[in-house]
Amino acid sequence: MTKARFEIAFEGDPFDDGEIDVRDLAPTLLAFGNVVQAANKVLNGDRADARLKVAATDQGSFVAALTMDVGWLTDMLDAVNAHPQRVVAADQLMDLLIKAGTILGAPLGLFAAVKALKGKRPEKVESRGDGTTEITINQTTFVVDDRTVALLQDLPTREAVEDLGAKAARVDGLDYLRIGADSEEEKAVRLARTDLPSLKVPPEPDEPDTEITHRDAWLKIVSVHFRDGYKWRFSDGGERPFTAEMEDAEFQTKVQEGLVALNANDAIRCRLREEQSLSASSLLKIIYVEEVLEHRPGARQMNLL
How do residues 104-141 score in pLDDT, each as one tens digit?
A: 568 899 999 999 999 888 989 999 989 899 999 988 89
Spatial neighbors of 296 by CB under 8 A, at least 6 apart, are: 266, 267, 268, 269
Query: What pLDDT is stored for residue 87 in this prediction?
Result: 56
Domain boundaries defined on the chain: 2-199, 209-296
Q: 14-31: b or e for each residue (b if 16 or more CB lie within 10 Å)?
A: bbeeeebeeebbebbbeb
pTM over 0.85: no
Of 94-98, 140-144, 160-164, 227-231, which range is least confident? 227-231
Query: What pLDDT is stored for residue 101 in this prediction?
Result: 62
Cα–Cα distance between 277 and 258 in angstroms, integer?
A: 37
pLDDT at position 63 over 90: no
One CATH from 2.30.30, 2.70.98, 2.60.40, 2.40.50 for 209-296: 2.40.50
Query: What pLDDT is stored for residue 12 in this prediction?
Result: 87
DSSP per-residue string spanning 42-89 = HHHTTSEEEEEEEEEEETTTEEEEEEEEEEE-GGGHHHHHH-GGGS--
Confidence of residue 80 (pLDDT cuts 50, 70, 90): very low
SS3 assignment, position 100: coil
More confident: 69 or 111: 111
pLDDT at position 81 over 50: no
Query: What pLDDT is stored for residue 152 in this prediction?
Result: 93
In this prediction, residues 17-22 reach a mean pLDDT of 80
